[in-house]
Chain A
Amino acid sequence: MTKTLVWVEHDNATVKDATLSTVTAAAQLGEVHLLVAGSGAQAVADAAAKIAGVGKVHLADSPAFANALAENVAPLIVELMASHDAFVAPATSNGKNIAPRVAALLDVAQVSDILSVEGPKTFTRPTYAGNAIATVESSDAKLVITVRGTAFAKAASEGGSGAVEAVSGGGDAGLSSFVSAEIAKSERPELTSAKVIVSGGRALKDGPTFEQVIFPLADKLKAAVGASRAAVDAGYVPNDYQVGQTGKIVAPEVYIAVGISGAIQHLAGMKDSKTIIAINKDEDAPIFQVADLGLVADLFTAVPELTGKL
């Protein structure tokens, strides 16, 4: 039976939701083992062991793995791949950073951002900003895969009873070091796992206007806040708000696009949302071609009115 090794995405305290979707994808290939790499990550490993359907949890605990530097963790993964058939990582910024380095060290091709598992070595994945879906079959002995979180259901975070086993790895490769991080603080739900997202575009004019118009509506709906690239580039909100081909891929229950025209790069990030609602004053905006519900109106009057009436 195929043994998969899943990269556990975590913040040193909790297991991130992206891991749970990845476990679901990996379980379709075979037995699921996890890798928790970090520094002081015992609690994460214990939590990971409870994920339903998980076998062994490998815990690599060392200062060298504290910030998931690819130069340090890739050799560790390669070492573990001697006894696994597939390395499966979520297509998060860590997954996208690390997995190709692992693939090259194993001399195998990587299958990026899979949407489904069609067979033991066959997968579907989006190309051309989601405008074409390719079905690909790997001919390599070992698989390296990244998984689009929104395409797979989340595995239950309770019910499993995996055994935690320590692994050491090679430590610090001495090529790179972590300097600092500026993580945006938010009380709102995380963008990639939110049920409802309210997203703003260039039409919001500036940062304070974006906050005045979008945030109250988002708060009313307990929604996460997203943005188009235009809104991010214009500096209305930080870039981790960006939804699209080059930003985050989301598929919430409801996606509300406010003042977003709907360029293909933006649609690539949100068109799998269950219900799309668009508010735009341009009735020919491409966003209306994918929106289930559209309102042609000036957002500066319509959105506050909507917020007030909900």
Chain B
Amino acid sequence: MKILVPVKRVIDYNVKPRVKSDGTGVDLANVKMSMNPFDEIAVEEAIRLKEKGVATEIVAVSVGPAKAQETLRTALAMGADRAILVQTDDEVEPLAVAKILKAIAEEETPGLVILGKQAIDDDSNQTGQMLAALLGRPQGTFASEVTVEGDSVTVKREVDGGLETVKLSLPAIVTTDLRLNEPRYASLPNIMKAKSKPLATKAPADYGVDTAPRLKTLKVSEPPVRSAGIKVADVDALVAKIKELGIA
């Protein structure tokens, strides 16, 4: 079985984003970029399924600027077999990404598509579900355990009250939660090897997808700033303050 793993290049999770003073967006110039953390988990899960003999080939795919190649090389260094970059400098919304992935999935016919549950930049949490809808396939979102057996996959999902287990018929779409696994680091020899793995470059038009945004961003602003608080000297002072709040 082939596994398709979409990955996104985003601002590094440790960086505190700064809103541009003209309110047009977040300043990404000279900011450290990395693979979206949830996508690293997706790549790792695909590799583990290959190591178990469940998967035969892992195809990493990214929709984004030329520099998203670096993100794909990271996936290749972790253990993906080949990569597809759908290159565009425009911001592509989840629906358009899902349409591109649908076209790729129809070409590649993967048994599983494993995506991160959300990108830490737009925080949409949509693409996997949209892809499943467009393909008419089942979805196992927010997965913390994935078990492939025969022609089905059992997914343990993180839901509000705890965990839930669902069984999906293959092919299926899975989105990863943080507790699914601990992604490996790519070793230097593997980073070197990744440089010679195949990476195909395409454009959204190759898949006949219109990436025009449906949502217009009118403004991006800083969240309200909390006013600086005070430090109390000891527990007694804290007790007095808590009593003032009227919760005890």
Given the known inter-chain contacts A104-B133, A132-B221, A310-B248, please indicate yes or no for A240 contacting B231, CB distance below 8 A: no
Q: How far is the CB of B11 from chain A (nearest CB, A)?
A: 7
Q: Chain B residues with Cβ under 8 A from A107's Cβ?
A: 95
In the complex, what residues of A have CB within 8 A of residue B134's CB? 104
Answer whether residue B123 sits at the interface, using C-beta atoms and an 8 A cutoff: yes
Contacts of A137 in B (CB 8 A): 215-216, 218
The complex places the Cα of A254 from the Cα of B248 at a distance, in Å, of 11
Contact B162 A127 (CB under 8 A): no
Among the listed B139, B158, B220, B239, which residue makes an inter-chain contact with A101, where contact means beta carbons less than 8 Å apart? Answer: B139
- Which of B54-62, B81-89, B106-114, B163-171 is the contact stretch? B163-171
Contact with B along A167-196 (1 / 0, CB 8 A): 000000011111111111000000010011
Q: Which residues of A contact B237 (CB under 8 A)?
A: 295
- Whether A122 touches B229, Cβ cut-off 8 Å, given contacts A297-B235, A306-B238, is no
B134: nearest residue on chain A (CB-CB)? Answer: A104
Q: Which of B136, B158, B228 contacts A239 (CB 8 A)?
A: B158
Binary interface encoding of chain B residues 205-248 relative to chain A, with 1 for a CB under 8 A from any of its CBs, else 0: 00000000111111111110010111110111111011101011
Determine which of A70, A127, A178, A184 lies in contact with B123 in the assembled complex, contact meaning CB atoms within 8 Å: A127
CB <8 Å contact, A70 and B17: no
Q: A93-B159, A132-B223 are contacts. A294–B230 as well, Cβ < 8 Å? A: yes
Q: Which of B154-178 contact A (CB under 8 A)?
A: 154, 157-169, 177-178
| Cα–Cα distance between A64 and B141 once the two chains are bound (Å) | 19
Residues of A within 8 A of B131 (CB): 104
Residue ID in chain A nearest B131 by CB atoms: A104
Residue among B130, B161, B216, B218 having the largest count of chain A Cβ atoms under 10 Å: B161
**Do B167 and A179 touch across chains, with their CB atoms under 8 A apart?**
yes
Residue of B nearest to A217 (CB): B248
What secondary structure prevails in chain A residues at the interface with B? Answer: mixed
CB distance from B184 to the nearest CB of A (A): 17
A136 at the interface (CB under 8 A from B): yes
Q: Across the interface, which residues of B come within 8 angstroms of A309, CB to CB?
A: 235-236, 239
Residue B104 at the chain A interface, CB threshold 8 Å: no
CB distance from A10 to the nearest CB of B (A): 12
- Work out how many contacts link A and B, with CB atoms closer than 8 A: 255
The reply to whether the CB of A246 lies closer than 8 angstroms to some CB of chain B is yes
Q: Does A69 contact B (CB under 8 A)?
A: yes
B238 pairs with A293, CB closer than 8 A: yes
Which B-chain residue is minimally distant from A111 (CB atoms)? B215
Interface string of B118-160 (1 = CB under 8 A from A): 1011111111111111101111111010000000001001111
On chain A, which size bracket covers the interface?
35 or more
CA distance A110 to B130 in the complex (A): 10
- Stretch of A32-40, A204-212, A271-279 at the chain-chain interface: A271-279
Residue of B13, B19, B126, B136 near A110 (CB, 8 A) is B126
Determine which residue in A98, A107, A233 has the highest number of CB atoms from chain B within 10 A of its CB, and name it: A107
A4 contacts the other chain (CB 8 A) = no
- Residues 177-191 of B at the A interface (beta carbon under 8 Å): 177-179
A14 at the B interface (CB under 8 A): no
Of the listed residues B25, B160, B222, B243, the one surrounded by the most CB atoms of chain A closer than 10 A to its CB is B160
Cβ–Cβ contact A295 & B238, under 8 A: yes
B178–A97 contact, CB under 8 A? Answer: no
Chain A residues with CB below 8 A from B236, complex form: 309
Q: Which residue of A lies closest to B102 (CB)?
A: A104
Q: How far is the CB of A270 from chain B (nearest CB, A)?
A: 11
A163 adjacent to chain B (CB < 8 Å): no
B166 contacts which of A69, A264, A305 (Cβ < 8 Å)?
A: A69
Q: Taking the complex as formed, is B98 at the interface, i.e. its CB lies under 8 A from any CB of chain A? A: yes
29 A-B pairs with C-beta separation under 8 A = A74-B133, A93-B142, A93-B160, A97-B141, A97-B142, A104-B95, A110-B94, A113-B123, A127-B26, A128-B121, A132-B223, A137-B218, A175-B138, A176-B167, A176-B169, A178-B166, A182-B163, A220-B248, A246-B117, A254-B245, A277-B242, A279-B238, A288-B231, A291-B229, A293-B230, A294-B232, A297-B234, A306-B239, A306-B242
Residues of A with Cβ closer than 8 Å to B? 67, 69-71, 74, 92-94, 96-105, 107-113, 122, 126-140, 174-184, 192, 195-196, 220-221, 229, 232-233, 238-240, 245-246, 248, 253-254, 264-265, 271, 275-277, 279, 283, 288-297, 302, 305-306, 309-310
A110-B94, A305-B235 given; name 15 further pairs at CB < 8 Å: A71-B139, A93-B157, A94-B160, A100-B94, A101-B129, A103-B95, A109-B213, A112-B125, A132-B26, A136-B218, A181-B161, A182-B162, A196-B247, A253-B245, A310-B243
